[in-house]
Amino acid sequence: MSGTTRGPAGSPRPAVDIAYEQLRQAILTGELMPNERLVEVVLADRLQVSRAVVRTVLVRLGQDGLVIQTPNRGAHVRLVTEAEAIEILQARAVLEGLAARQAALEATAQEIASIRRVLGQMTRKLEAEDLLGYSDHNAELHAAIIAAARHETAARLIAGLRAQLVRYQFRTILVPGRAARSLAEHTAIVEAIADGDPDAAETAMRRHLGSVETNLANTATMAGARRTENV
């Protein structure tokens, strides 16, 4: 098994980086479920790398908060509790509120047009009652706003928080009436950014994530819910 491979420009990429990205994506997409055991020999075969590379990858994923390693029991995908999910949303409200504020100050006309296009896609998904498709564009909208903010520290911290929450087992977007309220909340955020109003943009983003938090707390025990709103 090779220790390196070639990147897009022909430069060598360490196998550990590629294996890390592949395993991280498998966790984030739910292919590997919370509490699922991560067996070194199985992962080595799956990723076509050595067990030493797998051990390094698991350490990095542990630093990301995605994997737990227990002495004498091995590694497993970390399960985010309901209480922790709520704390993550509270922290994100502060950071993404900052990002929305900065986006209102920094976003170019082209970026605003792109953000509006994503909001339009969300509207069409909601009209088609495609809630999971709506949720995917929801995440795309948040990413576009964060990118427009040009605040690298906030972006890095938000990415770490989202990585832990995206696998959570409740999806508040499936709560009756939630999708329509979510669209209204996102519309308020986008309009404030387009108007260049940083105070309104920050307030709208905090209100939106506060609403997600409230819905998560209310639906945490409801049967049939599976994952959080994909923001």
pLDDT of residue 11: 59
Name the phi and psi angles at 5, rounded to 5: -145, 180
User: Count of domains in the chain?
Assistant: 2
Last residue of a domain, one of 77, 98, 120: 77
- Give yes or no: residues 127 and 29 share one domain: no
Q: What is the pTM of this model?
A: 0.76
pLDDT of residue 129: 92
- Give yes or no: residues 88 and 69 share one domain: no
pLDDT of residue 229: 53
Q: What is the pLDDT of residues 168-177, one digit of tens each?
A: 534 677 778 8
Q: Among all chains, which residue has been given the structure tokens 């427009």?
A: 148
Share of the chain above pLDDT 90, in %: 60
pLDDT of residue 3: 54
Last residue of a domain, one of 35, 53, 77: 77
Point out the residues of the chain with pLDDT beneath 50.
2, 4-7, 169-170, 223-228
Last residue of a domain, one of 30, 51, 77: 77
Q: Which residues 6+ apart lie within 8 Å of 103 measured at CB?
A: 111, 145, 146, 148, 149, 193, 201
Residue 28 lies inside a defined structural domain of this protein: yes
> Domain of 111: which CATH number?
1.20.120.530
Domain ranges, residue 175: 82-219
- Give yes or no: residues 177 and 93 share one domain: yes
CA 96, CA 209: separation in Å to the nearest integer? Answer: 9
- Give yes or no: residues 18 and 53 share one domain: yes
- Give yes or no: residues 196 and 86 share one domain: yes
